[in-house]
A and B are shown apart, each in its own frame.
Chain A
Amino acid sequence: MASKPQSVGQVMRNAWERLLVDPTLGVISLLLIFALIAAFALPVFFGGNNIYNLVGASITVMILSIGMTVVLISGGIDLSVGAVMALCAGVAATVIKMGAPLIVAFIAAIIVGIAAGLLNGLFITRVGLPDFIATLAMMGFASGLLYIATQGVPIIGYMTGEYYMIGGLQPLFGPVTFPILVAIVLALVVGWVLARTRLGAHFFAAGSNAVAARQSGVPVRWVKTQAYVLSGTCAAIAGIILAGRNNNVPADLGTGYEIQAISAAIIGGASLMGGRGRVLGAVLGALTLALAINIINLAGVPSSYQKIVIGVILILAVIANYLSELARGATVRRKAKRLSSIAA
């Protein structure tokens, strides 16, 4: 049956409504505002390699925030991503130093990341520990393990020609680096899983209302475990890349990254209450954080303002998300009213 053609006004109204309820509305607005301010106030912003540098600086947090978004959607939170990332970086570097090929080192690192995520998931879903406590414990465990293994001395001497490329210190082709490619592929795959697969729907269902989801046949415990495994995998990938970018793996490599990953996901529209978030939002959230620091550095603003700016961005994003929620509620009510009037 052919649908009734819509008027231009109707199309515009629908597009506006879709935009209003889009969880990434807040971060898109912030990113646009920042980019506009930077473009007018800092002529150098679009000059040289700045945009390329900006994207490169955001990749680690971006990859972490993709995994974090899935965890937040499923109703959890992962405080261990920074420490697991650092541990995986240490594993990759150590295995390379032992003479193994890069691929073996990377597989070893990813296995450690998956294991950490799996342990997180099992402690939460099988032992019944709160997400916050289980992942906090994993943060301490992973961080402590790296300190013990390194005795506080950074791991050095593992860089090879290929690893410079993997770390993004040499481009693959044109301005495209390996980390950028990895982030794009990861975002597309995870975005597709969330939007198009049953597992994706289960993540949202588990985070929105775990009891209702369970009653509807969703294996909530297994779904949450998979979310943590994905987060651990993302942490491992980020660790492999960061070890290449950093040229060394100090024991405190992951410090603070969990907060940045959570911030990027929240700025991108994910909710701490679960059931809401988008991979695109996380990607843009990570870019927004990097952009804020980039502008501060370019403008010569004292670094003490960085934390204030990031705090303000978080608040603005949460407000934008709240307004978006209100708009979504209003839209749903309006549609329901329209449908009921048609039915009547």
Chain B
Amino acid sequence: MRRAIALGSSAAALLLVLAACSTVGGGSTPSGNGASGSASCGSEDQQAAITEAVAGRTLKVGFTPPILSEFYTQVEKAAFNRMYELEECFGIKWEWSRQGALNDAHSGVEAVGIVENFISNDFDAVFVSSAAPHATMQEIYKAGSEAGVDFYQFNSTEELENPSQADDPTAGLYTISNIGYDDRWQSGYIAGQYLAGVLQGEGQIIQILGPSGSDWTKLRQQGFEAAISEYPGMTIVGSADGGYVRDKGLTAAQDLLTKFPDIAAIYGENEDMALGASQAIDLAGLKHWDGTEGIVTIGADGLISGMESIRQGKLTATVDVNSVDMGRTMIDTLFEHEILGMTVAQFIRIPTVVVDQTNVDWAEAKIAASQAGPGKY
């Protein structure tokens, strides 16, 4: 009984430690993104109790992004830093395996095979972000859960199909938790609101979207259109498929700029397509937004490579969907559930922010510090 109380109070203490680590604009330990590796481990008693709960255990964890890209590398690196901190504090060991789809990021077929491999290789837990159909993945999670594997989705689109958690505690999902942001209101909507603010509610917009049928596209589009519909003076005049890549984003933007040379803004559903659109503006001899005139270009992701373009004025803004906090929160949630036995929230939403020239310094510094962190697995 005393042991249970000690562990319970230690768990509560850990929560406080974890909460303290989530600082505004940092999502980090007091030392800042864990870059220096000197994490706060709480009091000596807390550290000893949690270390006892960990008991030197090794967690075998799978990581399945839909594709190996700059964004998911940032997420993984942030996760590594948090894993390193927890290892330093509490002696937990990690066995980490990353398997990302190489060829079919948009259908998710490869991801299904990867997750099935993780299940058959007795992993303790698997992080998944996949474009595979919701129902397919839930069936795999169900089967995996029965085999003793816990699933955590990250950067996913579960808000598209799940029922209300108020009516169903698990929200019809076979996951332990879903860590991410709401694509509608924390990405598409705030991008639309930003454009409306800069353009004072007036102007024509063209959109460069991801592949049709993509759940991310559907959700972000829903939010973006909701924001624009609040401003009668703003109109979305054209859309084209940029395939989530820069070259296609460039071609799509060139085509649309031919038809609509007088547009006020370009919304790129992700950052790479927005950067392609930015090149199209240069090639067409048009002007980038300089604070008073020109074309406003906004993307979404929050990549180190995009921050430089914001500084140069080639990209007006981007929705930073917070790869750093996402990676760290994934590991905290995993630790709380797998080691401390806590019931974690089915939906954990991390903060997102629109980054432009006014706040690019701290946004970039946060990612850069995470990238320079000591975690490596």
Q: Are A48 and B258 in contact (CB under 8 A)?
A: yes
B102 interface hit (Cβ, 8 Å) = yes
B45 interface hit (Cβ, 8 Å) = no
CB distance from B319 to the nearest CB of A (A): 19
| Count of inter-chain pairs, beta carbons less than 8 A | 101
A169 interface hit (Cβ, 8 Å) = yes
Q: Are A57 and B102 in contact (CB under 8 A)?
A: no
Q: Are A53 and B251 in contact (CB under 8 A)?
A: yes
Q: Are B70 and A153 in contact (CB under 8 A)?
A: yes
Q: Which of B68, B211, B247 contacts A303 (CB 8 A)?
A: B211
Q: Are A153 and B73 in contact (CB under 8 A)?
A: yes
Task: Give the chain B neighbours of A6 by CB distance below 8 A.
Answer: none
Q: Are A303 and B246 in contact (CB under 8 A)?
A: no
CB distance from A289 to the nearest CB of B (A): 11
User: How many residues on A have C-beta within 8 angstroms of the other chain's C-beta atoms?
Assistant: 40
Q: Which of A42, A48, A147 contacts B261 (CB 8 A)?
A: A48
CB distance from A49 to the nearest CB of B (A): 6
Closest B residue, CB atoms, query A304:
B212
CB distance from B192 to the nearest CB of A (A): 20
Task: Give the chain A neighbours of B279 by CB distance below 8 A.
Answer: 169, 247
B245 interface hit (Cβ, 8 Å) = yes
Complex Cα gap A304–B209 (Å): 12
Q: Are B259 and A152 in contact (CB under 8 A)?
A: no
A250 interface hit (Cβ, 8 Å) = yes
Q: Are B305 and A252 in contact (CB under 8 A)?
A: no
A224 interface hit (Cβ, 8 Å) = no
Q: Are B255 and A298 in contact (CB under 8 A)?
A: yes
Task: Give the chain B neighbours of A57 by CB distance below 8 A.
Answer: 251, 254
Task: Give the chain A neighbours of B247 by CB distance below 8 A.
Answer: 60, 242, 245-246
Q: Are B240 and A255 in contact (CB under 8 A)?
A: no
Task: Give the chain A neighbours of B251 by CB distance below 8 A.
Answer: 53, 57, 290, 293, 297
Q: Are B103 and A255 in contact (CB under 8 A)?
A: yes
Interface residues of B in 39-72 (CB under 8 A from A): 67-70, 72
CB distance from B316 to the nearest CB of A (A): 17
B351 interface hit (Cβ, 8 Å) = no
CB distance from B127 to the nearest CB of A (A): 15
Q: Which 5 A-B pairs have the closest CB atoms?
A: A152-B68, A303-B241, A297-B255, A304-B212, A53-B254
Instruction: Please name 5 pairs of A and B residues whose Cβ atoms are closer than 8 Å in the assembled complex, sorted by A.
Output: A53-B258, A250-B272, A255-B103, A290-B251, A297-B240
